[in-house]
Structures are given as structure tokens and as C-alpha cells.
Structure 1
Amino acid sequence: MVGDKQGTSDAFVSQYGVDLSFMAQQGLLPPVVGRDEEIDRIAQILSRKMTKAPMLVGEPGVGKTAVIEGLAQRIVEGAVPESLRKRRIFALDLLSLSAGSAMRGEFEKRMKEVVSYLQNNVEEVILFVDEIHTLIGAGKAAGSMDASQMLKVPLARGEIV
């Protein structure tokens, strides 16, 4: 990742998700064609001072993920506003997050780690959740919050992007 947090950040990201910026840097993402308008709009929203949590909505297969991959490629190329040039895109993997979390509270603990990581790296990391509707109810156990509830307040406050 960016800065002196490199070792632990990379290990963390690979444990619970994918660094799309690294994949773009390595040429591992497919080319994105015809999505310039959407990529520009996402970059514009992410560059705001406040209220910078864009959401792409559409039917499966229409290219929502491709737009984010295109943004990752643009970040690597430096073809984004200055405020985004040192950012990385972290794609949260709910399967990795929930794998082996059968014990009560384990998923919630992991999700708290993700939120803490994002808060500590808010100027460096952009969170991407593919199929965000799957967060609702994810990890929910009696007396605990689900993943969507754990992200709601930090997103609303701008503590994570």
C-alpha cells in the first residue's frame, strides 16, 4: 500500500480482499472500453470534500465492476484528479471475510478489522464492495451487527470511502 504501512497493509488486503490498483499496475485487469463517462463521474464524486460514496446500480453483467476496474487503471496511469492519484482500490471479498468464522463474533471481529483498516487509511484506500446487497445480514448473529450496519456510520461520516 501507500506510505510506511506497506507490509501490513498488503497482507491485510490479500487476506480479506483484492487490491485492484495492484492488479491494474501488473496489467492483470482487462481493458475497459466505452465507460469513460461513468469512470469520470465516479472519479468526480470521489474527489469531493464531503459525501463521496458513489454507488453503481444495475442489472448483473452490465459492467459495474468494469467501471471500477477502469478507475483502478486510470489511478495507476495518473489520469485522475490529483486527490485520487495516490489512492488504491480495495475490493472487499465477503467469502474470505466469512470463511472459517463459524465461531460467534468472529465475522464481526474481522469486519471491525476491515473498518479500522479503512479508517486508518482513509486518504489512501477506496473501498469497493461488489454485490453490496450481500452485506445485509452478512455475519449477523444474535446480539451482533451485520456487515452493512458496521459500514453505515463510518461511510456516512466520511471516515471511509
Structure 2
Amino acid sequence: MVNKFLVTDDALEELIFQYCRDYTTLERKGRFDRISGRDRELDETILILLQKGRKNAVLLAPAGVGKTALVVGLAQKIVAGDVPEYLKNARVLEIDLSSMASGTSGPADFQSRFIPLCRGMAERYHAPEYPKYIIFIDEIHMIMPTCEGSSYRGLSEVMKPYLTVGDLHVLGATTHDEYRIYVKEDPALDRRFQQVPLEVPTPEETYHILQLLRNSYETHHKLKIPDDGLRLIIKLTEEFLPRRNQPDKSIIIMDGACAWHVMKNGVGGDLSLDSIRKMVSIECKIHPDALE
């Protein structure tokens, strides 16, 4: 059969294999923890993806709040079939720009990899026998021409024609400030995206997130994490790590405290509160006694 596309199926799959992280495939392999607590933002994102016109979303939040986790949550809903028919069997693909740039000698060499990937997905957009491709670009401000020092600057100009005709679904992620400084300055690109702000979780919301993640970390470290341990993690990270954001800082402390406990006491039993204080003290570079 004659291939009706400029980028053949085999060539597109090879590009995806080399330069993308396939979230939907990884979810089917059970590689992700369950994502919860972002139902509103997920619904907003799906609503945008279903539209005919502005079908691209940009997730806006400070570092550590869970922008990538929301993309994982989208992949989980797709794999579970918990999405409208239009998105059934869609593929969520993060473009690994650093991998794509590796070994290139300049912008033209880089774009010779990037353009066929975009073209291959775009030209299949209206072919019902192919899944919808949802491209995720983390730190999307780095592809803007005005982002000095970025190895990927100017890629937005390559994508713009596909976004203009509506043949690509793109999910971007960046901070509010970086979006304002770099993306919003380009009205042609800005109007192709709808913003999905993610709020920093409250301590109670963070507690709920840790409860959902707890089983995965208990299985990995082979010990139990008590409720009072989760509460202490949140209390100490709120007080002593104010410049970082939930839930990331609490997840890091939970994982590190479990590792410290196992290193000093072996597996089994409950995660000790002293191990939590020790891990926070390491992160803060203060004595554990100051955390009592």
C-alpha cells in the first residue's frame, strides 16, 4: 500500500521512540503513581483539547506544584477510557528537547529532527484510523525566539503554522512569569493557547496527596508510613522549606526520610518521626534538635 503521508508510519514511530516520552504507554506499563486532586484542572485541559479552534493548553504554576503530574493524570484518564470519544486512544507524548538537540551542529540540524516529528503528527490529525497525538513541552517558554541562552529558541516559529491551521494538540508548561515574559509577547502564539493555572495545594490537600502516594512508597521502602508521619512532614516542610512548593517538597522529604530510616534501621516497622526530622534537617542544613 502506498503511504499517503510525507512522513511514513515507520519514520514517525522512530522519531517518537528516539525523541519522545510516551506517557500513555508508560501508564499501561504501570510506571506512574496515581494522580489525584487535580480534577478541576484536568477537566479544563480536556475541555480545551476537545475544541475545534484554540485546542492547545498551557499549564501555569510555580516549580514543584505538579504541572507534569497533571499531564500524567491526563494519560491515566485516557488509558482508563475516562475521556470523551474524541480522545479515546490518544497518545500523550513529551518531546525530549535535550535528547533531540544532542549531537546537532546548529539550529538547522536540530530543526531537521523537530520538523518531521511535528509534520508526521499533524498530517495524521484528520485520519480517523490514527490516534490523536498530544504533544507535551515542558518549560515551553524556552522555545520562544526571545529566550536568550536557550538551545531551543525559535522552535515556536516552526510550530506556528501547524498551530494556526489546528493540526496539532500542544500542552505546554511553564511559570506565570515566564509565560508573561516570553510567550505573551508573541500575540500570534499566545492566542493559540488557553491558560490552565494550577494553585499550590493547601496543607490539607497535600495530606490527601501523600495518603494516595503512601502505598507506593511503603512498597518500595518496605516499611509503613503512619498518618502522624505525614502530618509531621507537611508541618516541617511548611515551616522550614518556605521557598519550595507543595506537594513536591513533602514528597521529597517522605521519600528521603524512608531511605534514611532503611539505611539506619533496615526494612520493616514504621517510619520514625526522627527520620523525618533528620531528612528535613539535611534539606535545611540545620541541626535536627532545632526541629523539635
Interval of TM-score (by shorter of Structure 1 and Structure 2):
0.7 to 0.9
Alignment match of 2:144 (pick from 129, 136, 159): 136
SS in 2 for 1:105: helix
CA distance in structure 2 between the partners assigned to 1:70 and 1:157 by the alignment: 28
Q: In structure 1, what is the equivalent of residue 87 of structure 2?
A: 84
Judge conservation of contact 1:32–1:70 (CA < 8 Å) in 2.
yes
Select between 85-94 and 99-108 the one with higher mean Cα deviation.
Answer: 99-108
Select between 129-138 and 42-51 the one with higher mean Cα deviation.
Answer: 129-138
Alignment match of 1:157 (pick from 151, 165, 171): 165
Paired letter, 1:70: G
Bigger Cα Rg: 2
Alignment match of 1:124 (pick from 132, 143, 156): 132
Cα deviation for residue 8 of structure 1 reads: 4.5
Judge conservation of contact 1:108–1:139 (CA < 8 Å) in 2.
no
Q: In structure 2, what is the equivalent of residue 143 of structure 1?
A: none
Q: In structure 2, what is the equivalent of residue 34 of structure 1?
A: 37
Residues paired across the two proteins, number: 152
CA distance in structure 1 between the partners assigned to 2:87 and 2:119 by the alignment: 21
Q: In structure 1, what is the equivalent of residue 99 of structure 2?
A: 96
Cα deviation for residue 7 of structure 1 reads: 5.0
- CA distances 1:114-151 after superposition (whole Å, capped 9, x unpaired): 211221233521111011112124446xxxxx211111
Paired letter, 2:140: I
CA distance in structure 1 between the partners assigned to 2:164 and 2:55 by the alignment: 9
Cα deviation for residue 58 of structure 1 reads: 1.2
Within a 5 Å distance, the mapping from 1:68-79 to structure 2 comes to 68-79=71-82
Query: Identity across aligned pairs (percent)?
Result: 32
Judge conservation of contact 2:42–2:70 (CA < 8 Å) in 1.
yes
> Which stretches in structure 1 are left out of the alignment for 5+ residues?
141-145
Select between 71-80 and 94-103 the one with higher mean Cα deviation.
Answer: 94-103
CA distance in structure 2 between the partners assigned to 1:6 and 1:68 by the alignment: 25
Paired letter, 1:11: E
Q: TM-score, normalised by structure 1?
A: 0.86
Q: TM-score, normalised by structure 2?
A: 0.49
SS in 1 for 2:56: coil
Select between 117-126 and 90-99 the one with higher mean Cα deviation.
Answer: 117-126
- CA distances 1:21-73 after superposition (whole Å, capped 9, x unpaired): 10111111221110111111111110112210011111111111111100000
